[in-house]
Structure 1
Amino acid sequence: MDRDIWREIFENDLESRGVYDGWNFSVDENYQQRMGWLQYVQCCYARFYCSICGHSWGSSKVHILFHMQLKRRTGEVRMYVFRQRCKMCTAAIYEEPTFLEENIEIAIGNLVNKITQKFYKFPIDNLPRSFVTDGRHDGPHDYNNCEGCALGICQCDTDIQYSDKHHILPKRTNQGSKKKKKKRFPHPNTYSHRQSLSQPLRSAYWDRQETGVGESSHFIVEIPPDEPSDSSGPCCIIL
């Protein structure tokens, strides 16, 4: 994976959007969690090549994790691409994917959209673009040989959110659920001794309407900082 191409496209895209703060772009060699950083996951198409047997396969479930932060007009982006193993080899190792340059441009464009919207409050002008394929799909996603699945990333929400201390926040699925409030009754001694015992006691809370708040399946979690079946479409959500 050519890191210089990613960095060059990122810098050019930021400048074309009118962002002139200093931003550093780097690629992590290993998966890391960063407390207090914003994280953004995209699901892209890429191809893999086994270094042992030479087998190659394409996957539309290649997750790219971006961590980003902006402090004192200096921004930083750390990228990690989750790898996959060859299913033909018993001693296979995780291989890095090979991206089409057009897909690199699309992934960086979607990332810059998030940066300009979150940190600079730019209007939403560009929707996420769909990734392209080379026309070859090698069956359903191989969960047993996917690093992202092993770490629980493939089941995570692909919207932008804050990093959690322990893990990437999973997607919420309990839409429209309601939490019932317990009905509270005041102590009987608070009632007048003249009140008839045949009259049922009513709580001051009895007639209060019970309401619940429906939760969205895509969300932003704001934890204060310390100062991620295959489809070729993008897995990113506009805020």
Structure 2
Amino acid sequence: MTLEIAVQDVDGAIIALEEGADRIELCMALGATGGVTPSFGLIQSCAHVGVPQGVQALIRPRGGAFVFDAGELHVMAVDVRSAILAGASGVVIGALKPDGTIDVAAAEQLADEARAEAERCNRRVQITFHRAFDVVPDQFAALDTLIELGYTRVLTSGGEPTAPQALDRLCDLVAHAAGRIQIEAGGGVTIPSIPALRATGVDAVHMSAKTTIPSPGGPGGGGADARIEKTDRSAVRAAVAAMR
């Protein structure tokens, strides 16, 4: 079973490697927005760290709803290719229609962009559908759609605010997936909750393991009381131990 740590900088990638995590999801502004697309330079730098299963780059142009217009989808398509070019081993993507169902055309286009760039770079790519999955009206139908589109995995809290609140649903999703797509539990994961999540049979557990530290800034920099998010080494170490 795989442990994935969400990180936002090179230091976080290094901590994940040194403490024994399997892979990282890379994003920016996690606490403020739920995560947006990291820069080319950040992806490339983290890819060079050498986390065993590599960097999964989140592709999301903004916070807020997962319904994207044509302009936003164009940016996402470019970012998908850029992420693979920068060295990401996978992308974390998702798009919905206004009725909450998966935007199949967008999901297919973004996956195709990732595969095309990976082929051009002579590499394989993993494609994860992110927690937009948690607001779809029928998760089992959505899972079937993602299987048909060839997605590698889905990151989900089982439709609840946190994954530990959805143990039964996670079990059901694992059973429905039947090995055709990976189920990765994420959202509100704590160290004490990891054994129960493992018991559901999910393929992976995802957690942010983040803390905040003071980082005073000037005008436009958050002010004298500003704080920034960093990966908590002790939390990653404890998560690795709990997974084992």
- Tell me, yes or no, whether TM beats 0.5: no
Give the number of the structure whose alpha-carbon radius of gyration is greater: 1
- When the two structures are superposed, what TM-score results if normalisation uses the length of structure 2? 0.22
Higher helix share: 2
Larger relative contact order (C-alpha < 8 A, sep ≥ 6)?
Answer: 1
- When the two structures are superposed, what TM-score results if normalisation uses the length of structure 1? 0.23
